[in-house]
Structure 1
Amino acid sequence: MNNKVKMDYFSAIKNELKAHFSLLLQDVKILKDKMSGAGREEELVHLDRMIKINNSLFQKLDKLLEIYTLDTRFSNVTRRKVSINKLLSDVSRELMRYVEEKKVKIKLGLLQKDIYLNLYEEAIKNTLFWVLLNIIKHAVPSSDLIIIVNEEDKIVKIKISYLRKERDKTISNYRSLEFENLILERYLKIEEGFYTIKSGDNGACELIVNLPLKMSKDLDKSIPQTGKKIVDIKEIIKDEKELPSLSVVAAKVVSMATSDDVSASQIAETIKKDPALTAKILKVVNSSFYGFRKQITTLSQAIAILGLSAVRTLSLCISVLDRFPKKSDDSFNYQSFWERSLASAVASKIIAGKLGEKETEEAFLAGLMQNIGGLIFAKYYPEEYAKILEEHYTLGTPIREMEKRKWGIDHAEIGNVLSTKWSLPEILTKSIRYHHSPEEAKDESEKIRRTINIVHLGDIIASIIYDVNKKSNLTLLREKVSQYFQFSEEDIDEIMNKVSSELEEAAQNFEISVSETKSYAEILQEANLELGKINLTYEQMNRELQKAIAKAEKLAEELQKANKKLKEQAITDGLTELYNHRFFFDLLEKEFSKSQRHKLPLSCIMMDIDFFKVFNDTYGHKQGDIVLKEVARILSESVRDGDIVARYGGEEFSVILPKTEKESARIVAERIRRKIEETAFPGGLEKGQVTISLGTSTMLNDEYDTPGELVEAADKALYKAKENGRNRVESFD
């Protein structure tokens, strides 16, 4: 048979749970029958089996959920370039100890020329590991497990051949019960791939995993290229003949601005020779870019007020923009390039002003031109460079590494050559050269390093506005701002809000088309919704939002509500409003570590409502929920403020008691037991109809290596309380 596998995920989960709990039920019955015997060895064997089944189920569910959320906004996992040969070698190596146990031999046939695909690396590695481990589990001992990978019709095919033992006759529809296949199906669905299974009468099986090559941005990117393209770009840069030049007027202005004996009228006369440049300079001077109250009508007046340096910078800004395309075509999105460059320029200017710099135009020009070298790549190889930019913007792959692999040179080096050719001031050429790597400019003057840092921050702010990975870029901005200038959170708020508000007008002044500019509050909300939560404390997030209320009060209010709900859902149980199982272990780990560090006692109570299943069957689930909520209330009222109460799962609850010794923990547990026994629960229940069994464990002298062992000990004491008649407290000895 040869079929493309399709699955109903939720039905498969239901069947898997049903099968596992059937096995658990059988073990419980066996334990019950053995209770009358004197020995306990056989009972422990069955108990160990129950624990292993539970652990296996938990791990499988965890992996299933991990794969299921990969392509949703709840995942913070990103793709990266993965070598197929290395992937299969790593997985095979991790399987060696299982292979040795089963005496199965792995034979691996790799690609002669490796292929690199953009994959969720950990997810594909875990998926293949689980699938192969399941195959090994059911393979005939001393047989071969053959894994061969090849490429056919633009599909990477991973063929896995093996001999399978006869299937367990007690379980029907075997394939649908295999979580490994379920996880594989889900992952391949995300990657637009599929898998097939071939099986024969003699137990020979073949699993074929198919991954489409279209997932790769550039299959040969990881291999340094030495072809004609590298030589061409380097020759162009070396030759400088085909590099764009400034206009005659702009070049003359740059030259005159560096001379001490040039008057304002001479520079004005030079600029007037280019009427279009003159009009654009006056347009910018009279805009909110400078915010002068009186209108400036002549170039001489502009030079007198702004100074030669500022006018030179404006001339350069306008001339540079005129030397390159601004409208997009089918092969390269120039509009997006200039939009990002302008955002970086505006951000750099605002940061410079915040630092008290007098000539903020210089920072503006440096921000605008920092990526100018990339336009040389776009001119000669537009489609290939567009793909590199897309990968950088979406996956965060370092752009300079990709450029150097492709052409042997990066855009910062090209920009440095261009700015030198144009005889730009050193502060601009150095800012362009080191804007991605300020740490490499340690030997430059303080003023130059300061401008490089400003431009570097401007580039990060542009990434926050336009890139997919807003969370990581926001975190990077805070880290670098603290490192360079010690700005406060309020300063960052102010800068980001100014960039959002000034970007659109700057685009009009310099005739650059931009898409609708988002406010800072919208950017924060987008980051929060896309990535789960921004890497900030909730106090910081609230402060960010409060700064944005003036412009987006309704939006900020909605975001606050969403964050509050998200936090509650993440750490609390929806029914009882106690901490949930996951957060319970987070808190327990912290308390466990603290107790070990300071040599303090730590106690744990595990408890279970007696005969709750029977209660549910008798009174209904609605009444059962009422009991669970009331038990949660009683627990919360029965402990100290520093104690931690959680719903462990189902009708089971847990309490962490820091700085509490064994006898004190038993007293607390007894108090809880008595209160519940003496409570007449809502719904007409009498006192004593609801009781609870409790088990306690205590760490005094590092008796336990992990928090899980402490919980397991309390759980064993709870089991003993049930065994001894229920409605009682037992402590683990």
Structure 2
Amino acid sequence: MPRKIEKLIKKEIQFPSLPAIAVEILDTVNKDDATLTQLGDLIALDPALSAKMLKIANSGIFSGAREISNLNRAMAILGTNTIRSIALSFVISSDLCSKRPGYNIEDFWKRSAISAVAAELIAKCVQHRDEDLFLTGLLQDLGVLTILLTKGDEYRILLDSYKDMQQDLKTLEQEKYGFDHQQVGNALLSSWNLPESITTPIRYHHCPNEAPSQYETSTRILDFANKLGELYTSNEDSQNVRIIQNEMAEQFDICPDDTLELIDQVAEKGRELIAMFDLDPSDIKPYTQLLQDANRQLEQLNLTNAQMILELQDAKKKVDRLVLKLQESNSRLRELVYQDALTGLYNHRYFQETLESEMARAKRYQASLSLVLFDIDNFKAVNDSFGHPAGDLVLMNIATAVKGAVRNSDVVARFGGDEFAIILPSTNAAGAKTFAENLRLAVEGIASLIDGQAISATVSLGVVTVLPSQASMSKSELIEIADNNLYQAKQQGRNRVTCSTVGS
């Protein structure tokens, strides 16, 4: 993953910590001289975890025909990596189930459990050995939960829009934040020191064609496991089953009937695992049973014309309500896509699109164009000393000051974290410098009151002006020059403006 994306994720997302017993399990397994007995003794310290371990070891997901009667035998038969995966799955899900992000956490873990079982069963079916796939399947969408715990209502609206309009979630996330839940999941699990055999397939589980070759098969399996999780928890229809059957035949040479049998097995074994997570599995039924129930209902239908007309009228009302809901979702989505939730300024995506159009306009009319990049000096110290709520207040107050200082034609955006960007159309070098100096002084005079204490802040600004003779300059080149000027302002002592002009 590019370091710029990693840095952005760490700045925007707060990672949940790994439970203490999970850290001990990983530390034990990662030791060169670790033994099964040491791992067993550690798990045995938690009776509830030990009991669940034996249940799942005998569930049919992992075991053969012989019953596994004690933890030591389970470890000897299943091996260290499988035992590690099973133990971590219960520890992590139990810990995160206690967090209530205002989202249906039970459905999230039901889908995750189905995906974990599906990954394990598909791997067996295609004879692919990967002892980490069960845990990888369970944790593949942990990035969604992590973003939700940090972003709250803002991300919930994004999820609703994704479900209502059936758009690609990772595309919406990239447009809104500059990263997606695959990348967040990868970064989180890497910070927990889980191996690349888990973190890399999660990074690419929606785009397996992009995965490194050594992880491609595991990532493809994870992609199908995710689709089966959606099938059983998101009201997906028979058309999706046919798509899965066709893709399984194309990629793994599995005939449609065998895929259908596999889909049923996923539901049956998934119900067992969901119950072990202390969740209600009653709404998970094998796909063929759902088809049989539907056929019985069709046989019982004996509708009169009047009844059919009434049902059509009801259906039209539902369609009308859905259209209205989609219109509302579109409106919310447009706002989400272009607006920064904290400051109310335009976001990074809007800035990129607008800068491109303004550069084209300047070229067409042979006009000057100026760009200002600035960030808050020593902002990390504000967060460290006063807390993130204080830092947020400083950001909002500065955003308010900037909005009051610009013209209607200027565009102000939050570039990311504590960095901001201002596009000044038809503005020459002298005008841009004057504007930047006035803005620096305005911010210098702002005091944010936190618990009776005034917090002051300053900004460093990098300014670049492009003259008509350099209209062919690219957007990235212009941003890079402004960013370098901002860096120079920092190096020269902060709370100052550094300007440059491109062209003659």
Indicate the TM-score class for this superposition, using the shorter chain for normalisation.
0.5 to 0.7
Q: Is residue 326–residue 512 contact of structure 1 (8 Å, CA) maintained in 2?
A: no
Cα distance change on mapping 1:291 and 1:266 into 2, 3 Å: closer
Partner deviation per Cα, 1:675-726 (whole Å, 9 max, x = no partner): xxxxxxxxxxxxxxxxxxxxxxxxxxxxxxxxxxxxxxxxxxxxxxxxxxxx
Q: Is residue 14–residue 150 contact of structure 2 (8 Å, CA) maintained in 1?
A: no
* 1:356 CA drift (Å): 2.4
Q: Is residue 463–residue 470 contact of structure 1 (8 Å, CA) maintained in 2?
A: no
* 1:378 CA drift (Å): 1.4
| 2:151 corresponds to which of 377, 381, 385 | 381
Q: Determine the C-alpha separation between the residues in 2 that align with 1:512 and 1:343.
A: 12
User: In structure 1, what is the equivalent of residue 268 of structure 2?
Assistant: 501
1:435 aligns with 2:205: yes
User: In structure 2, what is the equivalent of residue 186 of structure 1?
Assistant: none
Equivalent pairs counted in the alignment come to 298
Q: Secondary structure at the match of 1:266?
A: helix
Q: Is residue 143–residue 183 contact of structure 2 (8 Å, CA) maintained in 1?
A: yes
Q: What is the root-mean-square deviation of aligned Cα atoms in Å? A: 3.1
Cα distance change on mapping 1:235 and 1:253 into 2, 3 Å: same
* 1:318 CA drift (Å): 1.2
Q: Determine the C-alpha separation between the residues in 1 that align with 2:139 and 2:254.
A: 25
| 1:245 corresponds to which of 12, 17, 30 | 17
Q: Secondary structure at the match of 1:373?
A: helix
Cα distance change on mapping 1:282 and 1:471 into 2, 3 Å: closer
User: In structure 1, what is the equivalent of residue 78 of structure 2?
Assistant: 306
Q: Determine the C-alpha separation between the residues in 1 that align with 2:120 and 2:299.
A: 31
User: In structure 2, what is the equivalent of residue 460 of structure 1?
Assistant: 227
Partner deviation per Cα, 1:650-672 (whole Å, 9 max, x = no partner): xxxxxxxxxxxxxxxxxxxxxxx
Partner deviation per Cα, 1:567-616 (whole Å, 9 max, x = no partner): xxxxxxxxxxxxxxxxxxxxxxxxxxxxxxxxxxxxxxxxxxxxxxxxxx
User: In structure 2, what is the equivalent of residue 416 of structure 1?
Assistant: 186
Q: Determine the C-alpha separation between the residues in 1 that align with 2:294 and 2:235.
A: 21
Alignment of structure 1 residues 422-571 onto 2, 5 Å:
422-441=192-211, 443-445=212-214, 448-521=215-288, 523=290, 525=291, 552=292, 556=295
Alignment of structure 1 residues 248-263 onto 2, 5 Å:
248-263=20-35
1:407 aligns with 2:174: no
Q: Is residue 521–residue 555 contact of structure 1 (8 Å, CA) maintained in 2?
A: no
Q: Determine the C-alpha separation between the residues in 1 that align with 2:152 and 2:141.
A: 15
Q: Secondary structure at the match of 1:518?
A: coil
Q: Answer 1 or 2: higher relative contact order, Cα 8 Å, separation at least 6.
A: 2
| 1:334 corresponds to which of 96, 105, 108 | 105
Partner deviation per Cα, 1:124-143 (whole Å, 9 max, x = no partner): xxxxxxxxxxxxxxxxxxxx
| 1:280 corresponds to which of 29, 34, 52 | 52
Q: Determine the C-alpha separation between the residues in 2 that align with 1:462 and 1:358.
A: 21
Normalised to the residue count of structure 2, the TM-score between the two structures is 0.53
* 1:477 CA drift (Å): 1.5
* 1:321 CA drift (Å): 0.5
* 1:423 CA drift (Å): 1.5
Q: Determine the C-alpha separation between the residues in 1 that align with 2:127 and 2:6.
A: 40
| 2:125 corresponds to which of 354, 363, 378 | 354
1:269 aligns with 2:38: no
Residue identity matched to 2:173: E
Q: Determine the C-alpha separation between the residues in 2 that align with 1:451 and 1:309.
A: 16
Q: Determine the C-alpha separation between the residues in 2 that align with 1:560 and 1:453.
A: 39
Q: Secondary structure at the match of 1:456?
A: helix
Cα distance change on mapping 1:511 and 1:468 into 2, 3 Å: closer
Cα distance change on mapping 1:478 and 1:283 into 2, 3 Å: closer
| 1:318 corresponds to which of 57, 70, 90 | 90
* 1:270 CA drift (Å): 2.5
* 1:375 CA drift (Å): 0.9
* 1:507 CA drift (Å): 0.5
* 1:386 CA drift (Å): 2.8
Q: Is residue 234–residue 408 contact of structure 1 (8 Å, CA) maintained in 2?
A: no
Cα distance change on mapping 1:493 and 1:556 into 2, 3 Å: farther
Normalised to the residue count of structure 1, the TM-score between the two structures is 0.37
Cα distance change on mapping 1:487 and 1:391 into 2, 3 Å: farther
Whose helix fraction is larger, Structure 1's or Structure 2's?
Answer: 2
Q: Determine the C-alpha separation between the residues in 2 that align with 1:518 and 1:299.
A: 31
Partner deviation per Cα, 1:205-234 (whole Å, 9 max, x = no partner): xxxxxxxxxxxxxxxxxxxxxxxxxx9x98
* 1:468 CA drift (Å): 4.5
Residue identity matched to 1:380: T
Cα distance change on mapping 1:379 and 1:389 into 2, 3 Å: same
* 1:326 CA drift (Å): 5.5
Alignment of structure 1 residues 2-41 onto 2, 5 Å:
none
Cα distance change on mapping 1:382 and 1:471 into 2, 3 Å: farther
1:390 aligns with 2:160: yes
* 1:513 CA drift (Å): 3.7
Cα distance change on mapping 1:522 and 1:439 into 2, 3 Å: same
Q: Determine the C-alpha separation between the residues in 2 that align with 1:496 and 1:561.
A: 27
Residue identity matched to 1:362: D
Q: Determine the C-alpha separation between the residues in 2 that align with 1:268 and 1:468.
A: 40
Q: Determine the C-alpha separation between the residues in 2 that align with 1:469 and 1:493.
A: 15
Residue identity matched to 1:264: L
| 5+ long unaligned stretches in structure 1 | 1-230, 526-551, 563-733
Partner deviation per Cα, 1:13-48 (whole Å, 9 max, x = no partner): xxxxxxxxxxxxxxxxxxxxxxxxxxxxxxxxxxxx
Cα distance change on mapping 1:519 and 1:279 into 2, 3 Å: closer
Q: Determine the C-alpha separation between the residues in 2 that align with 1:332 and 1:319.
A: 20
* 1:239 CA drift (Å): 5.9
* 1:249 CA drift (Å): 2.8
Q: Determine the C-alpha separation between the residues in 2 that align with 1:402 and 1:461.
A: 22
Cα distance change on mapping 1:401 and 1:505 into 2, 3 Å: same
Q: Determine the C-alpha separation between the residues in 2 that align with 1:450 and 1:236.
A: 29
* 1:303 CA drift (Å): 1.2
* 1:420 CA drift (Å): 0.8
* 1:328 CA drift (Å): 5.8
Q: Determine the C-alpha separation between the residues in 2 that align with 1:350 and 1:560.
A: 34
Q: Determine the C-alpha separation between the residues in 2 that align with 1:377 and 1:240.
A: 9
Residue identity matched to 2:58: N
Q: Secondary structure at the match of 2:194?
A: coil
User: In structure 2, what is the equivalent of residue 623 of structure 1?
Assistant: none
Q: Determine the C-alpha separation between the residues in 2 that align with 1:383 and 1:370.
A: 22
- Over the matched positions of the two proteins, sequence identity in percent amounts to 29
Q: Determine the C-alpha separation between the residues in 2 that align with 1:472 and 1:293.
A: 36
| 5+ long unaligned stretches in structure 2 | 302-504
Cα distance change on mapping 1:240 and 1:282 into 2, 3 Å: farther
Q: Is residue 284–residue 510 contact of structure 1 (8 Å, CA) maintained in 2?
A: no
Q: Determine the C-alpha separation between the residues in 2 that align with 1:328 and 1:470.
A: 30
